[in-house]
Structure 1
C-alpha cells in the first residue's frame, strides 16, 4: 500500500484487490507454508511506475492502478471462492454447485490447480516428517502440523500413516475458503469504519504506540512476536466492534436434532435455524418478548448475568469501541468480550475452529496499517455503505486515501 499511496498523490484508490491478495497469501502461508506470489507480482509492476497515466488533478476522483497478470493458482482459488454463489442463487442449491464444479470448464481447471497445490504441499510435508531427524521445531504450517501428528499417531498405534486422506484435504482447503472470505471482508469493513471515525483511528494509533514504545522510539514497525503477545485493550475493542457491525458472517445456522419450542413457537426436528448476527438486540433495539415464553433456564439467567456491559439499546447501530472496555478491580482499563451480544464466530462445539488464527491475523494487519498510515477522509461518493451478500457480507466499495508515516 505504501507504493500506491505515493503514486496516488493524495487521491483515494480502491483497496479491495490489495486486501484480497494479502489475505489469501497470508492464509496460504499459515495453512500450506506457501504463497500464490500475487503480492510479489503486483509490487514488481508498481515499482516500474513513476506516476499514474491519465491521473486526474481533482482530489475527488479516485486513482486507478493497472493490474498485473495474477498467478494461475490465485485466480483458481478466487474462482472457487466465488463459485459458491452458484449454489446460493440456484433452487437446486448444493447439487447445482457440485455439478458446476465438475462441468464448467473454468471451475474444472480451478479444481485441478487447487488439487495439484494440495498434493504438492502434502507430499513435501510427508517427505519432511518421514525423516526421523525432524521434530516439532520443523512445523511451519497447518499442513505440517497435521502430517506430523498423523506420523506420530500411526507410530504409536503400530500402523502405516494415512498419506492421502480426503478429510485432511477438505479440512485444509476449508481453512483457505473460510478465512479468505471472512477475514478479508472484516479488514475491508474495518478500513471503512476507521476512515469514517477519525477519532477512533487516532485513539487506536496512540494506544498502539504507547504499547510498543520501543518500536515507536526507534521509528520501526512492532516485531511480529510483540504484536502476537501484547494485550492492547483498545485494539481488541476496535476489532470486536468491527466484527460486530461489519457482520461479515450474517448468521450462524444449526439444524434442530429434536422438536423444540422457542419463545412459544414450535420448531420441528430437522429444521434449519438461522441465528442472525444483526437486527434486534444485536445492532438495533431489542423487541419486546413475553418473559413467560422464555425457557426456564433463560428466565433464571438475568440480563446482568448474561452480559457485563450496560449498553444503551438506542446506540447499538453506532460504532463505539469503548462499549467493550471496563475498569477492573485495580482500576485498569481492560477489554471485556462479555460486555454484550456477539456471535460472529458462533459458539459451542461447532464454533469457528479458526477463531484464534483469525484474531491474530486481524490484530497484526490493523496494527501495521494504523501504525504505518493515516486513513484520510474520502469523498462521500467513494465511501458508501452499500453491501453484497454471498458467502459473506462484503462492502461494495473499499476506497482508502492514505498518508504514509515514516515508521
Structure 2
C-alpha cells in the first residue's frame, strides 16, 4: 500500500472514530429522539427547524416532552458535548425541585456550555448578589421605590393619551414604549436619579411619522374606511444608557446560546461597541454610587434601622448604607473593590427587573386586549376599590398597594401564568439523584418548565415522585390543582369564597412557578410584582384596550433568555 493510500485510510479512520466519539451518550431510562442520538449534531437540526417555523427557541425543549409523551426527556443540544440536557415538564415535580430539593439541584457551574449555564438573575436566592434582604421588604418597596415607579406609570399614561389622540382610532405598536417606561422606572427605583428623561423626551417629541408622505397625505388617509392600518410614530432619540442596556442584554442572549460561552464572552469584550456601552454603563452607575456614598456620609445611619426612612431615596442608598459596607472597609477591603461589587450587583438586578417587568407588562396588554370581558371586570373591580377617586383623576400609589383587590391579584397571577416571561430555569444535579424515578447523575444539566399553561403530560405514579413531593401533596388535603382550561385566561380560578361568601384571592389554586415558587420567591420578584400592579392599574383605569385585526395580534414569542412577544399593538380608547 502506498504512503498516500495509508494516509487517506488513517484520515478516514480518524474521521470515523471522531464521528463515533462525537455521538451523544444518552442517559438510560430517559426518553429521547433516537435519530438525534445517532448524529453528532444531536437535536440541533430539530431545534433550528422549530425556530424557523415559530420564531421561538425556548419552547423547543418542552415541545419535545410533548412529542415523546413523557414529563422527563433528554436533549442533545451541543456538538461534541456528549452529556445530554434533561428536561422536566411536570409542575408538581418542578415545584418540588425548586422549593424542597435545593440540596440535590443547584445552579450550573460557570463552565457549563451554552443554555445549560443560563439562570435568569431574578432566580438567584435573596442576598446571593450581595444585596440586602431589606431591599425587597414591604416597607422599603412601598415608601421608597413605589412613588418613583408611580410617576413613570403616570408618564406612560400621558404618552399614550397623546398617541391615542394622534392615532384617531388606529392601532400602534407599544413594546418600545413599555420598555422605555420600565427602564425609567427601574433606573429611578434602584439608582435614584432618572438615568434618562426618556418618557418625558418622548412625550415632547412624539409625532406621526410622515416619512415619504406629501403634505396632507396623512390626513387624507384618515378619511378612508381602513382603521386597521397601524400608525407609525416618530419620537425622541434614545439615551446612551438605554442603548447600552439593550446592547448588553442582546449580548447576554448570544452568549447563552453559543457553543463556547467563555470564548464568546471574550470575543465580545474585544469589540469596540461592546466595550463602549459597558464602559458607559459602568461609568454612570459608578458616578451614582459615589454620590450615594456622599449622601450616606452626611447621614450615617444603620442600614436596617433606616429602611424606608427619609434618608433613603433609592435602593442604592440602602446598599451603600448597610453594615456590611463598613465591615468590609474595616477588614481593609479597598473602597474601589467594594464599589465594583456594588456596581456589578446593581447592574445585574437592573437588567433582570427591567426586562422581566417590561415583557410581563407587554403580555398583560396583549392578554387583556383579547379578553374584553375580563378587562371590563378588572376595571369595575378597580372602580369599586377606589370609590372616592374621580374618573379624571388617578389612584394614589398608597391606595394601589394597600387596598385589597382580589380580582386584581387574580388577574396578575393569571397574566404571569400565561405570559411566562422566564421560559425555563436551568439547574444542575449536585449529587446522583432521580426525577420521577429516572436516575440523574451528578452534574447533569436540567431544564425546568416554570409555565403551568397546559395539562400535565401524564398521570405519574405517586410512588415515582420524591418523598417531599408526596408529602407536600398530602398537605394540600385533597385540594389538588384544577387543570381544566389551563390554556385559557380565567382569573376566577384564583378566587375562592370565604365563610361570608366574599371572593378572596387564593394563591394555592395552582403552583406559582413564574417568578419562583412559594416561600422561595426570587430576589427582585416583589419589585417586579409591585411595578406590574402600579402600571396595570393606571393603564386599565385610563384606557380601554379595543380589539385588533388578526394581522397585528400574533401570540408568538421570541427571545432566548426571556420570552417577549413578537409584536405588541394596541388600539386605545380614553376613558
**Normalising to structure 1: TM-score of the pair?**
0.91
- 2:455 touches 2:486 (CA, 8 Å); kept in 1? yes
Aligned counterpart for 1:369 among listed residues 528, 534, 539:
539
- Aligned-partner Cα distance in 1 for 2:275–2:236: 24
Measured at CA, do residues 140 and 237 of structure 1 come closer, stay the same or move farther in structure 2, by a change above 3 Å?
A: same
Q: 1:399 maps to what in 2?
A: 569
- Number of the residue aligned with 1:54: 218
CA contact (8 A) 1:285 1:316 kept: no
Match of 2:186 among 24, 27, 30: 27
Asked if residue 227 in structure 1 is aligned to residue 391 in structure 2, the reply is no
| Structure 1 residues 307 and 256: CA distance shift in structure 2, 3 A | farther
| Contact kept in structure 1, 2:429 and 2:444, CA below 8 Å | yes
1:118 aligns with 2:285: yes
The 2-side partners of 1:309 and 1:292 are apart by 17
The 1:145/1:52 distance shift into structure 2, 3 A limit, reads farther
Instruction: Give distance in 2, aligned partners of 1:400 and 1:23.
Output: 18
| Match among 258, 272, 279 for residue 445 of structure 2 | 272
Change (3 A) 1:265 1:178: same
DSSP-derived class of the 1:317 partner: coil
SS at match of 1:261: strand
Match 1:211 to one of 385, 406, 417: 385
1:14 pairs with 2:163: no
Alignment deviations for residues 234-286 of structure 1 (CA, whole Å, 9 cap, x no partner):
111111011000111111222222110111211111222221023xx642344
**2:512, 2:518 within 8 Å by CA — same for their partners in 1?**
no
After TM superposition, give the deviation of residue 76 of structure 1 in Å. Answer: 1.0
Give the CA RMSD over aligned residues. 2.6
1:41 aligns with 2:209: no
Q: 2:467 aligned with 1:296, yes or no?
A: yes
Structure ID, larger Rg = 2
Partners of 1:41 and 1:70 within 8 A in 2: no
2:170·2:230 contact (CA, 8 Å) conserved in 1? yes
Paired with 1:232 and 1:187, the residues of 2 have a C-alpha distance of 19
Are residues 128 and 209 of structure 1, via their aligned partners in 2, closer, same or farther at CA, if it must alter by over 3 Å?
A: same
Instruction: Indicate conservation of the 8 Å contact 1:388/1:394, yes or no.
Output: yes
What residue in structure 2 maps to residue 77 of structure 1?
Answer: 245
Aligned to 1:163: 335
Query: Structure 2: how far apart are the matches of 1:233 and 1:269?
Result: 43
Instruction: Decide which of 298, 321, 339 is 1:148's aligned counterpart.
Output: 321
CA distance in 1, matches of 2:444, 2:187: 35
C-alpha distance in 2, partners of 1:180/1:243? 15
SS of 1:255 mapped into structure 2: strand
Query: What is the CA distance between 1:155 and its match in structure 2?
Result: 7.3
Deviations 1:84-134 (A, max 9, x none): 12213321124413430x112211111011011111100110010111477
1:47: Cα distance to partner? 7.0
For the pair 1:190 / 2:354, whether they are aligned, the reply is: no
- Does structure 2 retain, via aligned residues, the 8 Å contact 1:307–1:341? no
CA distance in 2, matches of 1:387, 1:266: 33
In the aligned structure 1, how far is the partner of 2:208 from the partner of 2:294? 40
Task: List gaps (5 residues or longer) in structure 1.
Answer: none
The residue aligned with 1:90 is 258
2:454 counterpart SS class = coil
Indicate the residue corresponding to 2:421 in structure 1. Answer: 248
On the 8 A contact 2:202/2:235 being kept in 1, the answer is: yes
Give the whole-Å Cα distance in 1 for the aligned partners of 2:216 and 2:461. 62
Give, in angstroms, the shift of residue 201 of structure 1. 0.3
Q: Structure 1 CA distance, aligned partners of 2:506 and 2:440?
A: 34
> What corresponds to 1:131 in structure 2?
298
Shift of 1:306: 7.6
**Deviation larger for 82-91 or 362-371:** 82-91
Instruction: Tell me how far apart the structure 2 counterparts of residues 303 and 59 of structure 1 sit (CA, whole Å).
Output: 55
| Equivalent pair of 1:285/1:314 in contact (CA under 8 Å) | no
Shift of 1:169: 1.5
Deviations 1:22-48 (A, max 9, x none): 010000011101222211221110279
Q: Secondary structure at the match of 1:302?
A: helix
Q: Distance in 2 between matches of 1:112 and 1:400?
A: 36
Moved more, 29-38 or 293-302: 293-302
- The CA distance in 2 between the partners of 1:48 and 1:286, in whole Å, is 49
SS at match of 1:108: helix
**Alignment map for 1:326-345 (pairs within 5 Å):** 326-345=496-515
Q: TM-score under structure 2 normalisation?
A: 0.65
> What is the DSSP-based 3-state SS (H/G/I as helix, E as strand, rest coil) of the residue aligned with 1:357?
helix
Distance 1:398 1:240, change over 3 A: same
- Quote the residue 2:353 is aligned against: 179
1:11–1:401: 8 Å Cα contact kept in structure 2?
A: yes
Distance 1:149 1:367 in 2: 33
In 1: Cα distance, 2:552 partner to 2:329 partner: 60
Measured in 1, the distance between the counterparts of 2:282 and 2:495 equals: 45
Q: Quick check: 1:309–1:338 contact (8 Å CA) kept in 2?
A: no
Equivalent position SS for 2:476: helix
